[in-house]
Amino acid sequence: METPSYTSPCAEAAARLRAASTVHVVHHWDADGLASAAIIERYLRKWKGRATYAVPEIGGYSAKAVRPPPQPVDEFVLVDYGIPPEEVAKIGEVSGKGVIIFDHHASGVRGEGKCNPISYGDGWEDWSAAAVVIAEAAGIRPEGWEELAALAVYGDVGFEGLMRKPHLLSAAFRAGLRAEELERAARYVNSCYRAVDYACVEAAREELAEGGVWAVLRDGYLAAREAEVCAEVDRGVDEALSSAEIAGEGITLYRARLRAYVVSAVGRRLSKVLGNGVAVLVAYVEPMKRWYLYARSQNRIIKDAIHALRNAGYGAGGKDKVVSTPCVEEGCRGELSTLIRALTRDL
């Protein structure tokens, strides 16, 4: 059997991580990013325990959103943050290091220490979370990694996606975690970034690294945060549904002003309500004073729209069935027209 093309860069990423005396890990702010960082934190404790952790500016997808490490380090690690190659290069220039990457987005980033099977042509369904990439492509598997990876997969693609990883599903069940607990844990940790609460994000990562999913479920602060965010998601979905309009064949456009950073949560719900077709959400997030464009489909591959947006100069990211970008224009005018053209062309 031919060796997968991602094997060498992933092995190198893991080897560099082991060899480094000091490491700075910048990870995405959602359930997958937090679980992935927790797996790395558990792994590094075995070797050295000297690492610092941070998230980019919540809602930002560029080198500008990534703060440099507080002090010089041997390795700079970027986790579950699907920015394009030119932005990764800028981070390398600022940090003075060749950036190690563990990711599963359609970013196009390849090269030494860049562990992302999607960039080397593998299917996204096999690598539905960055935590799976870390454990199964790079071989970074500290004790309890399966439970954390199960949370990561559930957080990104739900129970249906977790069913495609029966070994992770079995590990979760052995830990007493049913679908209900995984869903609630994902909501708890995701409530931190949705509330734009950086201290909460850090606390959630530490809970996962120290005590796993059950530690998160027992955290009263996270439960309270989640209740606040859930109410805003419900309100945002109702507002978006009242604005629905047809933007093209199989494309429905929604608009909403949101009081928390719940763009993806609202967009995911809209996609489920819509069913077939593409749900496109234009949202203004009041705490961040910023516009966002988000598209999601239950039944269509729309990742080519990512490249169309990037070619037009917009910093888009996403996966096979998800496209998202912060907008530079009020109301996402330019971004929206580019996206609709790309989606229509793909029909």
Count of beta carbons in the 10 Å neighbourhood of residue 306: 28
Quick: pLDDT tens for 216-231.
999 999 999 999 999 9
Is 184 inside a domain boundary? yes
Residue 245: count other Cβ atoms within 10 Å of its Cβ: 10
* pLDDT tens by residue, 189-202: 999 999 999 999 99
Q: Residues 6 or more apart from 311 whose CB is under 8 A from it?
A: none
224 assigned to some structural domain: no
Domain boundary among 163, 184, 218: 218
CA separation for the pair 161, 21 (Å, rounded) = 36
Residue 126 pLDDT exceeds 90? no
Residues linked to residue 256 through DSSP beta bridges, in sequence order: 283
Q: Which of 117, 105, 111 is nearest to 92 (CA)?
A: 111
143 class by beta-carbon count within 10 Å (0-12 exposed, 13-18 middle, 19+ buried): exposed
Q: Look up the CATH number of the domain holding residue 75.
A: 3.90.1640.30
Question: Do 109 and 16 have their domain in common?
Answer: yes
Residues 6+ apart with CB under 8 A from 260: 194, 195, 196, 228, 229, 232, 285, 287
Stretch 318-336: mean pLDDT? 93
What's the number of domains the chain is made of? 2
Q: What is the pLDDT of residues 300-322, one digit of tens each?
A: 999 999 999 999 999 888 888 99
152 & 290 share domain: no
State the distance between the two ends of the chain, measured CA to CA, in whole angstroms: 36
In one-letter notation, the amino acid at residue 23 is V
Residue 48 confidence class, pLDDT cut points 50, 70, 90? low
Q: Same domain for 109 and 197?
A: yes
Q: What is the pLDDT of residues 56-106, one digit of tens each?
A: 999 888 899 998 888 889 999 999 999 989 999 998 887 667 899 999 998
pLDDT digits (tens, 9 = 90+) for 274-299: 999 999 999 999 989 999 999 999 99
Q: The domain that contains 316 carries what CATH number?
A: 3.10.310.30
